[in-house]
Chain A
Amino acid sequence: SQQGEEDPQALSIQEGENATMNCSYKTSINNLQWYRQNSGRGLVHLILIRSNEREKHSGRLRVTLDTSKKSSSLLITASRAADTASYFCATDDDMRFGAGTRLTVKP
């Protein structure tokens, strides 16, 4: 089974609000990656955070990593309708992905 598990399964918010989704994993990692998938498209790599990093930013994205809790969070600030997508996490070379978090941003 995959290393990373996303939570919640689904999230619905209003445009302008922040969206937070979480990823838990089972064993020690070197890095954790977040991906976005728009409906009917391939996954797009958003950000990679290394095990020695606690926080990383990219535009409106903020990723945190807590290796003691084996968890990561992805925060999307000031969400837009275009952020509507599924979001997945993956670790190292695990090759496997969970079911993702389906984010809906209502205009």
Chain B
Amino acid sequence: DGGITQSPKYLFRKEGQNVTLSCEQNLNHDAMYWYRQDPGQGLRLIYYSQIVNDFQKGDIAEGYSVSREKKESFPLTVTSAQKNPTAFYLCASKRSGPNYGYTFGSGTRLTVV
């Protein structure tokens, strides 16, 4: 079955370190997205990519970086410049065209220790 896979499920990082979260999809979706969710809060858009080799900043891009070298993959790097990185990170993808919904991964919980 097609889907979107995020790994790892849990990630611990020391302050000052960069860490990369993986997101892979085999749905042949063109668009991919990264969101951050804090406890009891909604989703905030970090970065998105509508096509390979192109991506755009979302609402809270500072301290994060992404790449989109392959259609299937959209990794997110949380850099040491992100002052409060502890959060739940969700990746999503979407088929191009009208009237399609988003498919989400199961998330990565990042904790800074």
User: In the complex, A31 Cα to B43 Cα: how many Å?
Assistant: 20
User: In the complex, A31 Cα to B109 Cα: how many Å?
Assistant: 31
Q: Which A positions have Cβ atoms within 8 angstroms of B?
A: 2, 30-31, 33, 35, 40-45, 48, 50, 88, 90, 92-93, 95-100, 102
Contact across chains for A100 and B42 when beta carbons are under 8 A apart:
yes
A95-B33, A95-B45 known; A45 vs B98 contact (CB < 8 Å)? no
Stretch at the interface among B13-21, B66-74, B78-86, B100-108: B100-108
Residues from chain A with Cβ under 8 Å of B35 in the complex: 97
Q: Which B positions have Cβ atoms within 8 angstroms of A?
A: 6, 33, 35, 40-43, 45, 48, 58-59, 88, 90, 92, 94, 98-107, 109
A88-B42, A95-B33, A100-B42 known; A40 vs B109 contact (CB < 8 Å)? yes
Q: Within the complex, which residue of A31, A35, A88, A98 is in contact with B99, where a contact is CB–CB below 8 Å?
A: A31
Contact across chains for A41 and B101 when beta carbons are under 8 A apart:
no
User: In the complex, A90 Cα to B105 Cα: how many Å?
Assistant: 17
Minimal beta-carbon separation of B35 from chain A (angstroms): 8
> Of all chain A residues, which has the CB nearest B102?
A45
Contact across chains for A95 and B107 when beta carbons are under 8 A apart:
no
With A45-B102, A98-B42 already in contact, 14 other A-B pairs whose C-beta atoms are closer than 8 Å: A2-B42, A35-B101, A40-B107, A41-B106, A42-B104, A43-B104, A48-B99, A88-B42, A90-B102, A93-B94, A97-B35, A97-B42, A97-B43, A99-B41
Closest 5 CB pairs of A and B: A42-B104, A99-B42, A45-B101, A97-B43, A43-B104
